[in-house]
Amino acid sequence: MLFPRAVAAAVAAVLLLAGAASADVSGPDVSRYQHPNGAAIDWNAVRGAGHDFTFIKATEGTSVLNPYFDSDWSSAASAGLYRGAYHFARPSTAAGSAAAQARRFAATIGDQQQPLTLPPVLDLEEAGGLSPAALVSWTRSFLTTLQTLTGRTPILYTYPYFWRTAMAGSTAFTAYPLWIASYSTAAPPTLGWPSWTFWQYSATGTIRGIGSAGSLDVNRFNGSMSDLAALALTTAHAGGDVPTGITDPALVQVGEPSRYVPLTPTRFVDTRHGLGAAKGLVSGALPVQVPDAVPAEATGVVLNASVVQPTGAGWVRVAPYGTTPLTTAINFSRGLSTTGLLVTPVDAARRATVNVYGGSGHVVLDAVGYYTKATGEGGHWVPLAPSRIVDSRSGTGVTAGPQSGEVEVTLPEAVPADARGVVLNVSVVDPEHPGYLRVAPAGSAATTTALNYTDIQSSTGLVMTASTDRKVTVSLHGGAAQLVVDLIGYYDAAGTDGQAMSTTTPQRVLDTRSGTGARGREVRSVTLTLPSMPEGATGAVLNLSAVAPSGKGYLRLAAAGDTPTTTAISFARGQSTTGLALTPVAAGRQVTVTVYGAAVDVVADLVGFHAPVSPG
């Protein structure tokens, strides 16, 4: 970029040292000038030097192309870097100049819906003889044209003096992410934006693998790797950015009422060992075959899914083989193994596709149960008022104090001894060291992980398990931690009537980023009316996400009008978290989502519901 380079060398050196020594999310931006004498950039070396993203110049005006764009674009992604493309603007009084430049830029950069792809950038640092009012109009035309062509909300790059003079300090574009160049300040000015997204803090950088040493732009991202992953694959939508997969209600399909059949947890995919799939890290789509214990007529399969040792932040979506996944089942952060419970239909051949976006990781899948409409099979859902049956912080249900090893939990008499399955929310609070948690019927070996946790950070997950004489065993492997267990409900013995589960095409019912259901990161409580459910529905099944939290906190669900008493998911600063949640609903199909703790965006997708069925 051509931002003026006059800056004190000492200040630049201090900033570079700070960037190199910190855990900041960082990366360079490059153009043809980083290819002296045609030398290639070694993007693996850039990644190995600890950088996470890059921006690559694609076009300038209507005639200039970066001859190295295509090779840098593909090689940066192959090295595991998030990448974004930028256009150097040449504003002009010529009619249609802005739209023409946006069209050429969009045609050059191609599909912007690929994994690891950051939103496209307008690099605005020349006025082209336009007045501030005319330049504001030119900029608006470029951005709206680009957004329409790419389906992405663009980033706007500029520097303070230009914005305050050539743009007269306009606040017309604060809905777009800001990339600010500011070299001699301890923190960049925001020019009226709520905050900056990227900060180009030096133009005199040196990074291993890139030529033009001592004259390289270096940038920081204002967030964590989870935040960067959330930014990397979003699409344009009225009112803000939302993930792909928003479902038209007219296209929603509702499955037949089904009952639950628990399975002895069966591991059928483990890419660490080549079980059920090729050995190695997974990125993109992974077709899988569920085990024979799941019959062909199953309407849905219940899986514990794990991403192990991911190379970067990302998320997982699962759908029947040959269909498009519409809702996130797991979020994960770089280097942190993550496990979550999910429910998915499968195709007629009992196949599904696991889609890993962002960083790659090993995939581990355990089948723990399935839903069926077959006569005489499975148990009906029996919801209970959520109740805390274990809290080691107070000595409820177990000895007070941090727990480790095997902890036997006795279920209340509200759960019959012959229940087919029990549904629990299990939380690990303030763990001393990283570890993982497993749950099994008392007297049985726990073979599948239900929850991964890191030190200090609390974690919560939904667990579906059988029990033995109303007892289950919770096993904590790794660091000792306080243990909290909430009973949500159970599945009864096989019968002819009761409350059955119906899956639905995933429907987004809440996204505070876009204004779906509520708007803003400061929302503390919102009551939702859920679609595609009969009036008599008693419970909802949701994928619930906490996106880019500013600190620690947790989410709770309850039927509208009831006090929420059990945590659905916990979250930590900068780590987006997703979990499956079951909740009662009030008359009118209403449920309330409540946020406790730090500011966070909240996303909820309806994936199923429970409702009474007639005998037979």
Tokens for 216, please give them.
């390289």
Rounded Cα gap, residues 346 and 322, in angstroms: 10
Q: What type of residue is 542? A: L
Q: Which of 83, 31, 72, 20 is nearest to 216 (CA)?
A: 31
The number of residues making up the chain comes to 616
**Residue for token digits 């803003």?**
520
Burial (CB count within 10 angstroms: exposed 0-12, middle 13-18, buried 19+), residue 156: buried
Catalytic status, residue 125: yes
List 24, 123, 227, 511, catalytic entry: 123
List 24, 60, 72, 125, catalytic entry: 125
Rounded Cα gap, residues 615 and 372, in angstroms: 16
Q: What type of residue is 328? A: T
**Element containing residue 121 per DSSP (H, E):** strand 121-123
Q: Which of 458, 613, 484, 419 is nearest to 546 (CA)?
A: 458
Catalytic status, residue 511: no
**Residue for token digits 């019968």?**
495
**Element containing residue 556 per DSSP (H, E):** strand 553-559
Rounded Cα gap, residues 472 and 298, in angstroms: 26
Three-state DSSP state, 410: strand
**Element containing residue 478 per DSSP (H, E):** strand 471-494
Q: Which of 356, 427, 341, 334 is nearest to 388 (CA)?
A: 427
Rounded Cα gap, residues 147 and 154, in angstroms: 6
Residue partners of 482: CB distance under 8 A and separation at least 6: 391, 392, 393, 401, 402, 403, 428, 429, 430
Rounded Cα gap, residues 368 and 422, in angstroms: 12
- The count of other CB atoms within 10 Å of the CB of residue 9 is 8
Q: Which of 19, 4, 39, 217 is nearest to 121 (CA)?
A: 217
Rounded Cα gap, residues 488 and 423, in angstroms: 6
Rounded Cα gap, residues 180 and 154, in angstroms: 14
Evaluate whether 488 touches 582 at the Cβ level (below 8 Å). yes
Catalytic status, residue 248: no
Just list the catalytic residues: 29, 123, 125
